[in-house]
A and B are shown apart, each in its own frame.
Chain A
């Protein structure tokens, strides 16, 4: 045993070992591990907001080192406002914005933006629809003109509506066979049942077949309005030029007479645990989702949940990744997301594993969720998560586009103007007990949603461990995907 060796020999042994290590391991020991000072907080200044008489708000983030101009417009309406029975309406409206206005055909619009080296991107989220136009900055007028055409005067020409409908149906045919897509859709359906967030934002085959041109025109008339629109102008343009062009092309836009109220979804009561298997017999891997209700983006609990999520499955090193990938080689990726919307939110753990290990991997996910609910995060985890969130703030504001998008997010979710200024100190002030109190508040294993999309035959035997399971063939999902089970009577919130 080493301890019994004479002191002298031990020293010689160490010296010899050191010489070897210097040859093989050239870094000097004193350099490792590196000293990591906690990252400094960045100070982010919210850009000034210019409000036009018609209610349009304009924010400018000026930067001249790259000859690009980007316009990001958001309209505060999204899939949350899809008419009952017509999921996919907001998405289809946004998809049709560049497909022709009453002044230009779809091809003319495409030509115009491509000729400026740029691109158009439109779409709808849950709380917002967006239209982005980017061009080389020698063509600024064209960008504002195009954007106004898209936002204010889309023609919803019958031919284009039919074309987009066919395209959407084909896309859904493909997506409905994609295990990841199906897992997310079914998870949302179950978790948000009873709210305006429960449907598929892309629509279903049957809803896309039923949406009429009038539905699209009405949606646009009711919700697209200057008083509900925020325009972020980014890049190689000066303030006077920006305001002049915005006024020229969007200043005359007026709120319509039938303007509808912003939708407001009621918060949810918890339900019983639901486990759904979507059977795809040819799958070689199972997509796994474990979801709980989270918080709206403006919730005061967002900060503590962000720390908890960081530890559980956040974008960097985390427990799920560590356990499922690093320790057990079961998965390629494992993560958790805090999906926060205007009215509610979700906390979703996601991964995928070879079919035979489905139950084992799902149980590991459940164990980690239980762990973060039942015991305080460790001090080093807390410290690491805080450092990450504070330091990463700088990365969120690196480019002008990122700055603009942060400003849009703040306005969309009605966050206070000093939100990012206060962010570092709010994050740093949270303790492990604060985090634990929040995870206890939101994580309840008896009312989570578990969705497995894969080859049922390969993991059928262990399924019972997860609770009562419903099985749906994947072919049925796109047509009528699972309703929350009858009899899982909502319990009053006080029951938790």
Chain B
């Protein structure tokens, strides 16, 4: 075991599952990843498909990516994308509520998740039953039965999900609170689970409207990875999805743009937890932008493995923290890079913060050594390589590249962006983004659940 096997952080970062943290994909100098043959298809109704035939076992993962997430929600209608994800399992007008039963009988497993940017449905199953997944997915793309009784039931289920992930879990409310203060107008301000009130007020008409806007072939991408015949798959995609009519779709999306932060924000919350904790979050640019590559490498330098600067300093050398990890939430719009640390008994959050500040300052003041930079690149290469080991991981990668970054072939080229990054660029990115007026600090103090105090500078927000 590592101490972490007690799973404090597993639970903690599970609160982010709705937020799907995508780790970077890339290559490094020392080793070559073979190029993958990615085949794409677009139907006249706008449906896209991306396929990679790869692997040695007769297993496939089929995913349907809808380009809709909590980012598309407006105040008063938060949580709709995730709520609809639940309803997608509650039956169609044609088939009733049998989706997962069929997947089970086909020897497969299925589930779905909602992030800020996308809603993804997936099935992993023996290859021989590929048509079953495609047929069922086509059915629920347009034939969902959105009934009042399903709404009422799923509302209660979502509330249980909220309690489980956030309210009843130690440190579970930390991330939602962080996002609420780090953003002022961006829809990333709320997590995909949304607000109880909004989901509670949702009518069948509103949810149908949401469904009819986003669940159309021209807003969907099918991803298939694993060992299968691409020709066969194409035949079934055409058979089941061609009859579906395109919809008007979401049109031009008007997502509120977060204005630059101008002063540090400090928030304190009191929770019934054993140990103090803190989060430091910096705004970072959207995924795929030039600065995202050095920042991802910086994230590795800070917390890649036990020799990463943060773990090494806070957990190992000074033994201030029980655990300290960082998360780089790169996404379609600018998001956050944050460090989350739970302090050891008898150490305060403030001690952790100043230790962290020293590390960040080192990153700002001095370029990485060649060895440090290479280590970060190799770690990312390892991630990219290991994402090819199962059909599910590969499908996730392809879907994200295609839908969020609009480049299905990125898996074959992205490594070059990382290889090209220099130590000076990492330093420049640290100087640009890891600065005080771009910081949101949240401290968690043990005590009675409830109090939140925010210190916001005048002029900010």
Do B385 and A67 touch across chains, with their CB atoms under 8 A apart?
Answer: yes
* Interface residue? B2 (CB, 8 A): yes
Interface residues of B in 106-141 (CB under 8 A from A): 106-110, 124-126, 128-129, 131-132, 135-136, 138-139
Do B32 and A67 touch across chains, with their CB atoms under 8 A apart?
Answer: yes
Do B31 and A391 touch across chains, with their CB atoms under 8 A apart?
Answer: no
Do B157 and A329 touch across chains, with their CB atoms under 8 A apart?
Answer: yes
Interface residues of B in 345-379 (CB under 8 A from A): 345, 371, 374-375, 378-379
Do A282 and B449 touch across chains, with their CB atoms under 8 A apart?
Answer: yes
* Interface residue? B95 (CB, 8 A): yes
Do B136 and A122 touch across chains, with their CB atoms under 8 A apart?
Answer: no
A316: chain B residues at CB < 8 Å are 100, 103-104, 109-110
Least CB distance from A188 to B in Å reads 15
Do A36 and B3 touch across chains, with their CB atoms under 8 A apart?
Answer: no
A399-B390 Cα distance, complex, nearest whole Å: 6
* Interface residue? B11 (CB, 8 A): yes
Known contacts A123-B5, A167-B3; decide if A317 and B104 are in contact (CB<8 Å).
yes
Do B129 and A117 touch across chains, with their CB atoms under 8 A apart?
Answer: no
Do B143 and A25 touch across chains, with their CB atoms under 8 A apart?
Answer: yes
| 0/1 string, A286-308, CB within 8 A of B gives 1 | 00000000000000000000000
* Interface residue? A94 (CB, 8 A): yes
Least CB distance from B139 to A in Å reads 6
Do B385 and A138 touch across chains, with their CB atoms under 8 A apart?
Answer: no
* Interface residue? B308 (CB, 8 A): yes
Interface residues of A in 155-176 (CB under 8 A from B): 163-164, 166-176
**Which interface residue of B8, B103, B105, B153 has the most chain A CB atoms within 10 A?**
B105
* Interface residue? B307 (CB, 8 A): yes
Do A114 and B34 touch across chains, with their CB atoms under 8 A apart?
Answer: no
Number of interface residues of B (CB under 8 A): 106
Do B31 and A137 touch across chains, with their CB atoms under 8 A apart?
Answer: yes
A334-B448 Cα distance, complex, nearest whole Å: 30
Do A27 and B240 touch across chains, with their CB atoms under 8 A apart?
Answer: yes
If over half of A's interface residues share one DSSP class (helix, strand or loop), that class is named, otherwise mixed; here it is: mixed
* Interface residue? A325 (CB, 8 A): yes
Do B57 and A394 touch across chains, with their CB atoms under 8 A apart?
Answer: yes
Pick from B66-74, B165-173, B395-403 the stretch touching chain A: B165-173
A328-B154 Cα distance, complex, nearest whole Å: 9
Indicate which residue in B94, B305, B322 contacts A167 across the interface (CB closer than 8 Å).
B322
Do A39 and B126 touch across chains, with their CB atoms under 8 A apart?
Answer: yes
Interface residues of B in 309-337 (CB under 8 A from A): 312, 315-316, 319, 322-323
Do A391 and B126 touch across chains, with their CB atoms under 8 A apart?
Answer: yes
Do A114 and B101 touch across chains, with their CB atoms under 8 A apart?
Answer: no
Do A282 and B104 touch across chains, with their CB atoms under 8 A apart?
Answer: no
Do A171 and B8 touch across chains, with their CB atoms under 8 A apart?
Answer: yes
Interface residues of B in 156-185 (CB under 8 A from A): 156-161, 163-164, 167-170
A134-B383 Cα distance, complex, nearest whole Å: 11
Residue of A nearest to B167 (CB): A284
Do A315 and B109 touch across chains, with their CB atoms under 8 A apart?
Answer: yes
Do B7 and A68 touch across chains, with their CB atoms under 8 A apart?
Answer: no
A467-B56 Cα distance, complex, nearest whole Å: 54
Pick from B201-209, B267-275, B278-286 the stretch touching chain A: B267-275
A179: chain B residues at CB < 8 Å are 168
Residue of A nearest to B56 (CB): A63
Indicate which residue in A66, A330, A383 contacts B160 across the interface (CB closer than 8 Å).
A330
Residue of B nearest to A129 (CB): B1
Q: Please provide the 3 A-B residue pairs with the shortest distance between their CB atoms, ordered closest to farther.
A: A391-B107, A329-B156, A117-B378
Extra inter-chain contacts (11) besides given A66-B33, A316-B109, CB under 8 Å: A65-B388, A67-B385, A117-B380, A167-B322, A168-B6, A180-B11, A181-B6, A285-B164, A316-B100, A387-B106, A387-B107
